[in-house]
């Protein structure tokens, strides 16, 4: 984002709303951008890159949530997980805490999705034959139910600190 980011005192802080505090409003703002929105300005974008990797994604959201919660996760972080696709639902089985996930699905026009409401934030956006979704701090294994078929184009699944490996299991 060029020289403008050098002048941004909140760069990397997570305070994308510019209100001087990092809270759930910043989480919601970043999720909105991941799903296709835009940052208010380049300073907001620089503020959202909490991990400092040059992109704003669910890893930054998870870092913000962890800081909001004071780093206190009552269960151990997951080190591995499996996505199980079958029976018109997608579930996530993990061996510990999942901070969030981001996914891009490709599907036909007859596809529909109902995303979980058991999470800190869960939202999606469909453009033509592609759906992008973000689920932050899921509280149940069931991520969404669907009608139709889809292919997972890309995904990021994170514990409270980093991305973890995920196996995808298709059950006919």
φ/ψ (deg, to 5) at 19: -95, 0
Is there a contact between 71 and 97 (Cβ–Cβ < 8 Å)? Answer: no
Which residues contact residue 72 at a Cβ distance below 8 angstroms, ignoring those fewer than 6 apart? none
Bridge partners for 119 per DSSP: 138
Residue of 115, 121, 124 lying closest to 61 (CA atoms): 121
pLDDT at 70: 77
- Which pLDDT value is given to residue 110? 93
pLDDT score for 172: 83
Angle of helix 24-34 relative to helix 58-68, nearest 10 degrees, comes to 170
Residue pLDDT tens, the chain, 172 long: 554 455 799 999 999 999 999 999 999 999 999 999 999 999 999 999 999 999 999 999 999 998 888 766 667 999 999 999 999 999 999 999 999 999 999 999 999 999 999 999 999 999 999 999 999 999 999 999 999 999 999 999 999 999 999 999 999 8
Residue 3: predicted pLDDT = 47
Residue 4's pLDDT is what? 45
pLDDT score of 63: 93
Nearest to 96 by CA among 113, 115, 116, 79: 79
């Amino acid at each position: 984002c060029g020289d403008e980011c050098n002048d941004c005192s909140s760069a990397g802080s997570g305070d994308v709303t510019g209100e001087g505090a990092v809270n759930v409003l910043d989480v919601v703002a970043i999720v909105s951008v991941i799903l296709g929105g835009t940052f208010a300005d380049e300073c907001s974008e620089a503020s959202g890159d909490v991990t400092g990797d040059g992109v704003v994604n669910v890893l930054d959201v998870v870092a913000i949530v962890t800081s909001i919660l004071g780093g206190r996760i009552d269960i151990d972080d997951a080190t591995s997980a499996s996505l199980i696709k079958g029976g018109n639902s997608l579930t996530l089985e993990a061996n510990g805490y999942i901070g969030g996930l981001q996914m891009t699905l490709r599907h036909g026009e007859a596809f529909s999705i109902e995303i979980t409401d058991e999470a800190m934030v869960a939202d999606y956006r469909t453009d033509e034959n592609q759906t992008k979704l973000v689920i932050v701090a899921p509280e149940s294994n069931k991520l969404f139910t669907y009608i139709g078929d889809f292919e997972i184009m890309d995904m990021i699944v994170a514990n409270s600190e980093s991305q973890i490996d995920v196996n995808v299991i298709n059950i006919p």
